[in-house]
Amino acid sequence: MIAIMKTNNPVSLSYAQSVLKDRKIESFIMDTHQSIFTGALGLVYQRLMVIEEDYIQAYDLLADAGLEEELCRS
C-alpha cells in the first residue's frame, strides 16, 4: 500500500474515501489512533492508503474532486 493523502482533516479523509469507494477503489486510513493521541498538536498526520496499482487513478479522482493540495506525490 502507498500513502495518497496525509491530513488531520477528518472531513477531507471521509470525502476522499467516499470518492474512491464510488469508483470501487479500496482505501484504508492509517495512524488514526496516533493522530488522536497527539491531539491538537498536529504532530502526526493520518494517511489514506491505496494499493500501488490504483494510485494513479485514485490520485486523478481525488485531484478532480478538489483535494489536490492534500495529496502525496509519489
Across the chain, where does the E strand assignment appear? Answer: 2-7, 28-30, 46-50
Q: What is the pLDDT of residues 15-74, one digit of tens each?
A: 999 999 999 999 999 987 565 555 555 567 889 999 999 999 999 999 999 999 999 886
pTM of the model: 0.83
Q: Which structural domain, as residue segments, surrounds residue 20? A: 2-70
- Domain with 57 in it: what CATH number? 3.30.70.790
What distance in Å separates the CA atoms of residue 46 and residue 64, rounded to the nearest whole number? Answer: 21
- Note the pLDDT tens digit of each residue in 14-26: 999 999 999 999 9
**pLDDT score for 38:** 59
Counted domains in the chain: 1
